[in-house]
Structure 1
Amino acid sequence: MKKALITGGNKGIGFETARQLLENGYYVFIGSRSITKGKAAVAELNEAGFDEVEAIQLDVTDTASIEAARNHIGNKTEVLDVLVNNAGINGGFPHAALEADAEAYQKVMDTNLYGVVRVTQAFIGLLRMSKQPRIVNVSSSGCSLTLHSDPSWKYYSHKAALYPASKAALNMYTINLAYELRDTPFKVNAVCPGFVATDFNGHRGTGTVQEGGMRITKYVMIGEDGPTGKFISEEYNPETGETPW
């Protein structure tokens, strides 16, 4: 049975991704900053008939929390097949480039970029033991530098200084990570779930968590011929998913 860790897996797209992976026979560790909320998510999945799931206290901004999660999972399994770096914060909206201070940028980066770096580096040893390791960094088409500089793009006027900057940085990390792992079985991609209605955006999204979860799950489950080092948004590009950086 393949094993997956999803950060921020207790709600929203993370929770739906967990449910879909469970449907596909994975054992899922739900990383949650609040263990109480993590256990509540597991209870909900148990009620739906899924037993191969466990809540792990995991705060991606806290090195001690990450180390404890790594030790706990490492004591249960020698192999981790999937890491979904899903945990993220939006930094609040709106935030103008001339108004958001450096501390606001630091807070968002600490979760959306540095948190991914911390977790990936902590779990890379377990991932290397998998025959088909997969890393999905949950990104957003709204961080595309190309699209945001194109006045014809339908979301051109939807500017926010903090969140897109953090995800653009995450995309660069994804490129470098995929490159370093290029001669291995790893597949590493940045995947946008789409503009999905969740607590994250005040339920203003036009898509469903089921759609978002399917997009993440698809790139968790890609085969050996699947892409790596790509920026994928099937909402932006329904044909191939490939999105300009």
Structure 2
Amino acid sequence: MSHALFWTSEDGQSLTLVELPRVQLRFAPGPDPGGRGLRLFSKEFGGFYLLDRNGVHDAEAWQAATGDPRASDLASYLAKMPHAVVLRSTAGAIRILVTNADVVRPAIKVKPFSTDLVVNRKLLVALGLKTFLWDFHESGSLLLTSSLSGTLYLTLLTLLHRDYSSAARLVGSIGFDEGISADEERLLIFNLKSTVTDRHPNASAIRLKLLLALIAHNPKHFLLKPEEELIAGDYGDYL
């Protein structure tokens, strides 16, 4: 997730703090609520500790360790975000923490419909919004975002994963009625341009839906200029 600093006690015998300075996160060791050794507890999100995200691939072991039956549902979300970590509260609530890093889906000749992502964290230092925290619904059917930026980023990850149905549901909740921030504009552009090589009609429809939301906010936005190939290409594909 980031560069990491490990702080120990004065005698160097025990770990006292793990610090991720680029994303401004800190974790301190504490006893596992279930009595299974130590966990790393978030200093920013009180009562939440890190879980091994790989554990979701063994549903029975996950349920035995956490008492949570939603492993397969959680795994389907984590497949879209290789740079995410899982947090669990002492009360059993699950959250997904993901950095606001640039993500791209590289072209792979032998895997033309790949959903593999490459994560670029270089811009994190310059960004004001460094992470997103999403609540995993008790039903296991959705992630709850608390901001427009978070919804745009989740839409980007979902669209890059070629999960068009889920991306369409997310896009339906996007609007720019109160203006658009620099973070939101950056993520909107990423949604439009980093997925432009995906010529599936559903991908084109989702990008056009995003542009409609932008038109409602600012019909003179530079992305809406007639010379922008993005609109013409998607509109032609969709028709």
- Which of structures 1 and 2 has the larger relative contact order (alpha carbons within 8 angstroms, sep 6+)? 1
State if a TM-score over 0.5 links the two structures.
no
TM-score of the pair, normalised by structure 1 = 0.26
Task: Please say which structure displays the higher CA radius of gyration.
Answer: 2
> Greater strand percent: which structure?
2
